[in-house]
Structure 1
């Protein structure tokens, strides 16, 4: 498994189709060398401001997805 350190610089757009939510982002992606003291995993970092933008964009996408479902199937 390849591991990366991904730093979000900016969210450009977000959309959904076929059960997937896709985000277009500007990001700095650097490979991470696994070390013995940490499990092999990738890290996603962002500022608090970008995290709030992501939360707002996701809420908007979920609202659009819920509009297409019948009331009985909404979560």
Structure 2
């Protein structure tokens, strides 16, 4: 497995697909291959500044709210 160091430079936007259930982010990032550290499971690192982390959270919240709005409302718990 290849491991990478991904440093987010700028988050540009987000979208979601109701058919696949995927959220897609458009961003600028610096991506470098990374050697696994001995004794630690190989992992890819995603690195964000605090500002970019806050933007990511806002974009995620918006996309999840949009996806939730398209789901049919549950009828469980309703008595008629």
Is the shorter-chain TM-score for this pair beyond 0.5, marking a shared fold?
A: yes
Give the aligned CA root-mean-square deviation in angstroms.
1.3
Q: Which runs of 5+ in 1 are unaligned?
A: none
Instruction: Give the TM-score, by structure 2 length.
Output: 0.84
Larger radius of gyration: 2
Q: Which runs of 5+ in 2 are unaligned?
A: 76-80
State the number of aligned residues.
Answer: 73
More strand by share: 1
* Stretches (4+) displaced over 3 A: none
1:29-53 superposed Cα distances (whole Å, 9 cap, x missing partner): 0000123143211000000110000
Instruction: Give the TM-score, by structure 1 length.
Output: 0.90
